[in-house]
C-alpha cells in the first residue's frame, strides 16, 4: 500500500455532504479533501476576478454635510426632533421667513361684559377687566393678578416642556393682525372680531388666534412648529386670579382675608365634577384624560378651559408660592406662604383649540356655557358645577335660589332678603320650639323620679355592669311618661344645618360679594364695626339667662349662659357679615319668643318648678324665721 503523505500532518476533515467520491481502494476520504480544496480555490478565484472585472465606482465624499451641520450649530435654532434628517431640518429652517414686530404694542378688545388688553410681547393678556364687577377699592375688577403674573406669567401665554423655548415664545414681539388686516394704530376693537399673533424665527413658527363674541368666552387657537414639526405647546393661565388682593402692596390692599387660601383646581371627567384644594395641587404634573373642562378658581371667579378635542387633552397643573405678611396691613408681621395656582391646557397633537371662560361664577352665566359633547358641538355639561355648595348642597342650593328669588322679585337687597327669610324660617320652626318646651316641662315633672333612680345606683362604679340596669329603668320611665330625652335638642338640630348652608351660600354666591346693607359694605366680608358679633353675644346670653333650666348642673348652666355666646360671637368675628346677620336675626327672634313663652301657662309652670328646685337645693322651701325671746 502506498504511503499517504497527506496524512503526515493531521487536519480536521471538512466534508461536503454533496461530494461522496472515495479515494483508491475505497477507503480514506482523500478524494473528499481534494474536492473541497479545489472548490474553495475556485470560489477564491471567482471573488478575486470579480473585484478586478466589476470594480464599483467610488461614492462621492459628502462635502456639504459637515458644512450644513456646522451652519446649524452656529444658529440659535432649536435641535430638530430625534430621527429627523439633518439636511431636511436645515432646509426647513432656511425656508421659514422671519416674522416679528419691531416695537411692543397693545390691543384692546371689548364687549358689554369685559375689556381685554393684549400685548404683542408673547401675545399675552395684561388686563382682563370685568365691567360689571369692582375690586375692594371700587375700581374696575381685573381678572389678571398683576403682581403674581409678573413673576409667573400672564394669561394666554404658552407652556412647553422646554423652559428656554417657553421663555422665547412668551417674550418675543409678535406681528398683530385683526380679522385679516393689520392692526390699527388706535388698537381698540369691539367684539365680535378676530385677533391673530404671528412670530417666526430660525425655524420656529408660532401662530395664536383669538375669536371674540358678546359672551365671557374667548375662542383660542394656537400652533407651534419647529423646523416644520409640531411642538406640544399648551395655553396657560398661570398665576391665580385678580380677586387675590393679598399679593398687592400693603399700602393699597383693602381686603384683610387671603382669597388665595380658597383657590383650587376643578375639572369635569366623564360628566363628573371634582376639585382639588391648593395645598394638594402638584406643580408641573401632566394629566392626560378626556376632560370636558378644567378651571382654576377662587370663591367667586374662575378661568375655565373647554377643550375643542377632549379626547386629546393634556393638562399641566401649576403651583407656585409667594411669601406674604400674615397681616396684610402690617408688612412687618410674620411671613407665610400664599399659594398661586395656574393651569396649562392643550392638545397633544401640537395644534390646540380651546374656549376660555374668564369671569364670575354666576349661576345664569355658567349655566349658559357648555363643554363639547359627544356630537362634537357645545352641547355637553355646563360650567354650573363650578359653584360648589359642598356637603350641604341639598340645603344650600334651595336656600340660594330662595334668597335670589326674593332679591329679584321685590326686595332688591340681599341683606333684607336674609333677614326676611330668617324670620320666615324661625316662625316656621315655632312648632318644634313648642315641642321642645313641652319636652322640657315633662322632664321637669319627672325629675324627682329620675333623681331617685340615680341615688339607687349612686354607689356603683362607672364600669359596673349593673349600671345598665339604671339605664334600663331610665328608659322605661321616659317611655311611661311619654318623654323624648332628645326633644329639647330638636330646634338646634334643625337650625344648625341651615347655619352651615348659609355659610356655604355666602362663600359661593358671587351676588353676595360687595352686597350692601346699612354699614355693611360687603356681606361676604366680616362686619368692619363688629356690631353684629357683639349683638350675637348679648342676645344669646339674655336668651340663656331667662330660659328656665331646672335639673341642669350649675356649672353646665354657666357654660351655656356665658361660654356659648362668647364662642359663637368670636367665631363670627372674622366670618362673613351675612352669616352674622342671619345668626343675629335668629337670636333676636328667639329672645322675643322666649319672653312670650315665659308669660304662657307652660312657661310659668316651668319657672315655678325651677324656683322650687332652687330653693330645695338651698336647704328648704322658704328661709327660716328666728323668733326673739319675749
What pLDDT digit, counting tens, does each position of 114-154 carry? 999 999 999 999 999 999 999 888 889 999 999 999 999 99
Whether 380 and 438 map to the same domain: the answer is: no
- Same domain, yes or no, for 333 and 434? no
* 536 located within any domain: yes
Grid coordinates belonging to 343 = 393651569
* pTM exceeds cut of 0.85: no
Would you say 351 and 288 are in contact if contact means Cβ atoms under 8 Å apart?
A: no
Whole-number CA gyration radius for the chain = 42
Question: Looking at the structure, do residues 317 and 412 belong to the same domain, yes or no?
Answer: no
- What total of structural domains would you count in the chain? 2
Of 388, 406, 423, which residue constitutes the final position of a domain?
388
Same domain, 343 and 256: yes
pLDDT of res. 260: 82
**pLDDT score for 553:** 59
Residue 629 lies in a domain: no
Give pLDDT, residue 51: 42
**Residue 202, C-alpha cell as written in the block:** 430660525
Among 388, 414, 436, give the residue marking a domain's end: 388
Q: Which residues pair with 315 in a beta bridge?
A: 287, 345
Q: Are residues 305 and 432 in the same domain?
A: no
pLDDT at 2 (0 to 100): 39
Average pLDDT taken over every residue of the chain: 79
Q: Is residue 452 part of a domain?
A: no
Q: What would the pLDDT profile of 15-35 be if each residue is shown by its tens digit?
A: 333 333 333 333 344 444 444
The residue whose grid cell reads 429652517 is: 93
- The predicted pLDDT at position 11 comes to 30
How many Å apart are CA 239 and CA 439, to the nearest integer?
57
pLDDT of residue 245: 84
Same domain, 418 and 303: no
Same domain, 508 and 362: no
Q: Which three cell numbers stand for residue 261?
A: 387660601
Residues 6+ apart with CB under 8 A from 296: 237, 240, 241, 263, 264, 265, 266, 302, 303, 341, 342, 343
190-194, 218-222, 403-407, 476-480: segment of lowest average pLDDT: 476-480
Enumerate the β-bridge partners of residue 218: 212, 356
Tell me the pLDDT band of 573, cut-offs 50, 70 and 90: confident
342 and 262 in a common domain: yes
Is residue 191 situated within a structural domain?
yes
The reply to whether 153 falls in a domain is yes
Task: Check the CA dihedral 558-564-569-573 and report its sign.
Answer: positive
Residue 471 placed within a domain:
no
Structural domain that includes position 578: 395-446+483-617
220 with 156, same domain: the answer is: yes
Average pLDDT (551-573) is: 71
CA distance 624 to 601: 30
Q: Tell me the C-alpha distance between 523 and 530, whole Å.
A: 13
Residue 313 domain-assigned (yes or no): yes
Strands across the sheet containing 188-190? 140-142, 124-134, 114-119, 106-110, 188-190
Does residue 499 sit in the same domain as residue 558? Answer: yes
- Does one domain contain both 332 and 240? yes
- Among 388, 422, 457, the domain boundary falls at 388
Residue 94 lies in a domain: no
Give the domain CATH number at 368: 2.70.98
d(CA 239, CA 536): 39
Residues 208 and 319 in one domain: yes
Give the whole-angstrom CA distance, residue 272 versus residue 362.
20
C-alpha cell of residue 142: 381685573
Amino acid at each position: 500500500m502506498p504511503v499517504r503523505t497527506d496524512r503526515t500532518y493531521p487536519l480536521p476533515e471538512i466534508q461536503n455532504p454533496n461530494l461522496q467520491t472515495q479515494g483508491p481502494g475505497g477507503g480514506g476520504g482523500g478524494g473528499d479533501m481534494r474536492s473541497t480544496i479545489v472548490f474553495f480555490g475556485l470560489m477564491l478565484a471567482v471573488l478575486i476576478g470579480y473585484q478586478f472585472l466589476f470594480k464599483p465606482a467610488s461614492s462621492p465624499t459628502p462635502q456639504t454635510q459637515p458644512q450644513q451641520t456646522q451652519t446649524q450649530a452656529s444658529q440659535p435654532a432649536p435641535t430638530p426632533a430625534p430621527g429627523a434628517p439633518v439636511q431636511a431640518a436645515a432646509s426647513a429652517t432656511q425656508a421659514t421667513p422671519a416674522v416679528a414686530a419691531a416695537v411692543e404694542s397693545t390691543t384692546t378688545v371689548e364687549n358689554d361684559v369685559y375689556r381685554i388688553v393684549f400685548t404683542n410681547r408673547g401675545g399675552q393678556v395684561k388686563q382682563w377687566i370685568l365691567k360689571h364687577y369692582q375690586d375692594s377699592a371700587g375700581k374696575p375688577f381685573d381678572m389678571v393678578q398683576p403682581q403674581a403674573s409678573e413673576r409667573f406669567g400672564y394669561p394666554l401665554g404658552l407652556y412647553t416642556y422646554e423652559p428656554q423655548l417657553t421663555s422665547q415664545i412668551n417674550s418675543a414681539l409678535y406681528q398683530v393682525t385683526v380679522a385679516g388686516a393689520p392692526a390699527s394704530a388706535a388698537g381698540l376693537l369691539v367684539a365680535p372680531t378676530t385677533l391673530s399673533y404671528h412670530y417666526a424665527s430660525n425655524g420656529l413658527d408660532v401662530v395664536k388666534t383669538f375669536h371674540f363674541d358678546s359672551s365671557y368666552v374667548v375662542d383660542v387657537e394656537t400652533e407651534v412648529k419647529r423646523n416644520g414639526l409640531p411642538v406640544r405647546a399648551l395655553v396657560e393661565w398661570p398665576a391665580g386670579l385678580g380677586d387675590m388682593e393679598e399679593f398687592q402692596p400693603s399700602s393699597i390692599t383693602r381686603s384683610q382675608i387671603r382669597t388665595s387660601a380658597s383657590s383650587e383646581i376643578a375639572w369635569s371627567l366623564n360628566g363628573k365634577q371634582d376639585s382639588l384644594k391648593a395645598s394638594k395641587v402638584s406643580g408641573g404634573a401632566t394629566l392626560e384624560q378626556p376632560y370636558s373642562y378644567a378651571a382654576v378658581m377662587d370663591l367667586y371667579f374662575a378661568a375655565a378651559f373647554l377643550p375643542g378635542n377632549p379626547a386629546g387633552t393634556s393638562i399641566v397643573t401649576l403651583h407656585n408660592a409667594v411669601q406674604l405678611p400674615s397681616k396684610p396691613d402690617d408688612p412687618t408681621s410674620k411671613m407665610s406662604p400664599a399659594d398661586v395656582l395656574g393651569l396649562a391646557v392643550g392638545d397633544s397633537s401640537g395644534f390646540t383649540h380651546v374656549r376660555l371662560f374668564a369671569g364670575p361664577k354666576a349661576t345664569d352665566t355658567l349655566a349658559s356655557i357648555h363643554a363639547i359633547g359627544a356630537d362634537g358641538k357645545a352641547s355637553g355639561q355646563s360650567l354650573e358645577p363650578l359653584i360648589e355648595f359642598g356637603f350641604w348642597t341639598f340645603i344650600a342650593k334651595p336656600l340660594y335660589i330662595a334668597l335670589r328669588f326674593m332679591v329679584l322679585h321685590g326686595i332688591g337687597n340681599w341683606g333684607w332678603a336674609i333677614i326676611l327669610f330668617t324670620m320666615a324660617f324661625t316662625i316656621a320652626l315655632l312648632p318644634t320650639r313648642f315641642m321642645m318646651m313641652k319636652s322640657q316641662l315633662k322632664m321637669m315633672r319627672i325629675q324627682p323620679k329620675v333623681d331617685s333612680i340615680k341615688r339607687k345606683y349612686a354607689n356603683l362604679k362607672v364600669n359596673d355592669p349593673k349600671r345598665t340596669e339604671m339605664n334600663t329603668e331610665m328608659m322605661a320611665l321616659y317611655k311611661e311618661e311619654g318623654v323624648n330625652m332628645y326633644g329639647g335638642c330638636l330646634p338646634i338640630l334643625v337650625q344648625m344645618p341651615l347655619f352651615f348652608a348659609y355659610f356655604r351660600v355666602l362663600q359661593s354666591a358671587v351676588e353676595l360679594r360687595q352686597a350692601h346693607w346699612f354699614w355693611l359694605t360687603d356681606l361676604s366680608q366680616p362686619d368692619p364695626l363688629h356690631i353684629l358679633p357683639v349683638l350675637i353675644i348679648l342676645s344669646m346670653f339674655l336668651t340663656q339667662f331667662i330660659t328656665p333650666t331646672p335639673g341642669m348642673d350649675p356649672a353646665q348652666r354657666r357654660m351655656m349662659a356665658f361660654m356659648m355666646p362668647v364662642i359663637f360671637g368670636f367665631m363670627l368675628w372674622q366670618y362673613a357679615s351675612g352669616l352674622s346677620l342671619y345668626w343675629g336675626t335668629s337670636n333676636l327672634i328667639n329672645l322675643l319668643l322666649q319672653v312670650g313663652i315665659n308669660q304662657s301657662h307652660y312657661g310659668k309652670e316651668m319657672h315655678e318648678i325651677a324656683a322650687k328646685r332652687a330653693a330645695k337645693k338651698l336647704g328648704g322651701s322658704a328661709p327660716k324665721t328666728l323668733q326673739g325671746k319675749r
